[in-house]
Amino acid sequence: MCFKKKIKLYLGDAPGALRRRLRSYKQVFVVYDANVEAWLPKLNLQEKPVYPVVATEENKNIKTAYEICKWLLEQGADRDALVLAVGGGVTTDIAGFAAGIYKRGIRYANVPTSLVGQVDAGIGGKTGVNVSSFKNMIGLIRQPEFTWICPALLGTLPEKDFLSGSAELLKTFILEDREAYEDAVDLLSAGRREPDAYAALIEKAARIKARIVGKDEKESGLRRVLNLGHTYGHAIEWYQHVHGDEAPLTHGEAVAVGMVKAAGLSEERGYAAPGLASKLRDDFRRCGLPVDFPCPEQDLEEAVSKDKKAEGGRIQFVFIEKIGKVRIHKL
């Protein structure tokens, strides 16, 4: 399917089908998360040049992007080359950014292997790296050739990573699909982890994000709703990195806490009826997600003020009116 000829998604393909998608590209260079190396033979990417990255937030920086560009140059990648990013959101962000700056921009495509990648990070063209622990401060919005989504790739995903992606799944449905939200809560709270059980929900979430991005690629309006939970979520990630937390929350877990905070602020401002925050807290707990700040809230003020969505000194914040409907207003 294609949205305004910008957002191309291929959903539900068997792993071996990816090779057919790549036949039209003369040069393909694979940048992959070292943790998913065992999947490469199943994707039929034999004889493609490959470059492993250690896909952590610490390594999501300009140095890693430079090393990828240096490798592409050494491999003889020209302006018609395609960078194929195989991994989670960190990998697709770094690889897409490197492709965007190499020789002033070559093509790239995403094969997200994590739940967060398949429903969010691998779709929409946002790429970038972190600066001094602040998330995605250097980046580009540049659409991939396609995003290839195969739920079977989630089969060996660690539980913590699966939960991280589940938060982004729930976030997407909070934006505009209450029924899918309730279905996802039921499935997650039952402890179901089989990839096939989530295939329909993954497709729904991917379609929602693709449609939103297709209408507002550069995030001048509608696309901002996708930042639900991220203002405080990114601040939590910054705090944990700066303070060297030994067991930090994942990105999705931090976003879950941020969504509960957004629900509380929505109630305080009268945008939502009382009880919304309590419902999210109960639902998220049932799904195994955290709901409380891992640090004093006032310690996050510096990171919140530096949020990349700030304009004129104020943050464009996503409030929740009810599950299935949100609004954007300055915080």
- The answer to whether residue 93 is domain-embedded is yes
Q: What is the CATH number of the domain that holds 223?
A: 1.20.1090.10
Inter-residue contact 114 to 165 (CB < 8 Å) = yes
User: Do residue 14 and residue 120 come from a single domain?
Assistant: yes
User: Do residue 173 and residue 226 come from a single domain?
Assistant: yes
Residue type, 277: A
Tell me, what's the pLDDT at 42?
Answer: 86
Tell me, what's the pLDDT at 45?
Answer: 87
- The answer to whether residue 114 is domain-embedded is yes
E strands in 58-179: 82-87, 107-112, 126-131, 134-141, 147-149
Catalytic residues: 104, 126, 168, 209, 219, 223, 227, 230, 234, 251
User: Do residue 122 and residue 169 come from a single domain?
Assistant: no
Cα angle, residue 321 at apex, residues 316 and 326 outer, rounded to 5° = 45
Q: Give the integer Cα–Cα distance in Å for 285 and 196.
A: 23
Looking at 101, 135, 154, which one is the last position of a domain? 154
Sheet holding 314-322, edge to edge: 310-311, 314-322, 325-330
User: Do residue 130 and residue 7 come from a single domain?
Assistant: yes
Tell me, what's the pLDDT at 302?
Answer: 83
Phi, psi of 150 (to 5 degrees): -130, 105
Inter-residue contact 165 to 115 (CB < 8 Å) = yes
Tell me, what's the pLDDT at 220?
Answer: 87
User: Do residue 25 and residue 135 come from a single domain?
Assistant: yes
User: Do residue 150 and residue 220 come from a single domain?
Assistant: no
**Tokens representing residue 134 in the block:** 């602040």
Residue-wise pLDDT tens digits, 71-124 = 999 999 999 999 999 999 999 999 999 999 999 999 999 999 999 999 999 999
Looking at 154, 187, 210, which one is the last position of a domain? 154
User: Considering only CA atoms, which of 27, 195, 10, 38 is closest in space to residue 110?
Assistant: 10
Phi, psi of 329 (to 5 degrees): -150, 155
Looking at 97, 128, 154, which one is the last position of a domain? 154
Phi, psi of 51 (to 5 degrees): -140, 115
CA distances from 147 to 13, 174, 222 (A): 11, 23, 21
User: Do residue 150 and residue 168 come from a single domain?
Assistant: no
**Tokens representing residue 271 in the block:** 């945008």
Q: What is the CATH number of the domain that holds 123?
A: 3.40.50.1970
pLDDT truncated to tens, each residue of the chain (331 aa)? 444 547 899 987 666 788 889 999 999 999 999 999 988 888 888 889 999 999 999 999 999 999 999 999 999 999 999 999 999 999 999 999 999 999 999 999 999 999 999 999 999 999 999 998 898 999 999 999 999 999 988 987 899 999 999 999 999 999 999 999 999 999 999 999 999 999 999 999 999 999 999 999 998 899 999 999 999 999 999 999 899 998 999 999 999 999 999 999 999 999 999 999 999 999 999 999 999 999 999 999 888 887 756 666 688 999 999 999 999 999 8
**Tokens representing residue 30 in the block:** 């694979």
Residue-wise pLDDT tens digits, 284-295 = 999 999 999 999
Our measurement of the distance from residue 287's CA atom to the centroid of its chain's CA atoms, rounded to an integer in Å, reads 19
First to last CA, the chain: 36
User: Do residue 138 and residue 168 come from a single domain?
Assistant: no
Question: Domain range holding 192?
Answer: 164-330
Q: Give the integer Cα–Cα distance in Å for 130 and 110.
A: 20
Local structure of 197: helix, strand or coil: helix
User: Do residue 144 and residue 171 come from a single domain?
Assistant: no
Tell me, what's the pLDDT at 313?
Answer: 67
> What is the model's pTM?
0.92
User: Do residue 139 and residue 182 come from a single domain?
Assistant: no
Inter-residue contact 255 to 167 (CB < 8 Å) = yes
Q: Give the integer Cα–Cα distance in Å for 251 and 165.
A: 9
Tell me, what's the pLDDT at 308?
Answer: 58
**Tokens representing residue 191 in the block:** 């402890």
User: Do residue 244 and residue 95 come from a single domain?
Assistant: no
Measured from the Cβ of residue 196, the count of other Cβ atoms closer than 10 Å reads 11
- The answer to whether residue 321 is domain-embedded is yes
- The answer to whether residue 248 is domain-embedded is yes
User: Do residue 177 and residue 147 come from a single domain?
Assistant: no
In the chain, the number of structural domains is 2
- The answer to whether residue 292 is domain-embedded is yes
- The answer to whether residue 159 is domain-embedded is no
Q: Give the integer Cα–Cα distance in Å for 222 and 55.
A: 30
- Pairing verdict, β 2-3 and 7-11: antiparallel
